[in-house]
Amino acid sequence: MVRTPLTPEERRRGERLGALLRAARGERSMVEVAAVAGLSAETLRKIETGRAPTPAFFTVGALAAALGLSMDDLAAACGHDPEYQEPLSA
């Protein structure tokens, strides 16, 4: 199955999610947070750095729970970028 390329907005949303998770993690190690969330530290690293900009819903939910964040807060912080406008197609 061929994967559809991500749009620039999807990439930016992934970067916003990664930055928010990194900030929420604070002084806790990646290994610690990943273990609590039931993920590998490598998966968390990819999400935090934007290399996995569209993680699965349940992955985000597990990270939110591990970090004490609500899914509503994540959606509000990482949702649609009001400053981005999709280029008009010709």
Q: What CATH number is given to the structural domain containing 42?
A: 1.10.260.40
pLDDT above 60 for 16: yes
Domain-located, residue 85: no
pLDDT, residue 79, reads 77
pLDDT, residue 85, reads 58
pLDDT, residue 55, reads 94
pLDDT, residue 2, reads 79
Q: Which domain holds residue 63?
A: 8-78
pLDDT, residue 82, reads 62
Domain-located, residue 23: yes
How many domains does the chain contain in total? 1
Q: What angle do CA 72, 84, 79 make, to 5 degrees?
A: 10
Domain-located, residue 1: no
Mean pLDDT throughout 55-84?
88
- Collect all residues with Cβ–Cβ distance below 8 Å to 2 and sequence separation of at least 6: none
Domain-located, residue 3: no
pLDDT above 70 for 87: no
Domain-located, residue 38: yes
pLDDT in tens, 30-61: 999 999 999 999 999 999 998 998 999 999 99
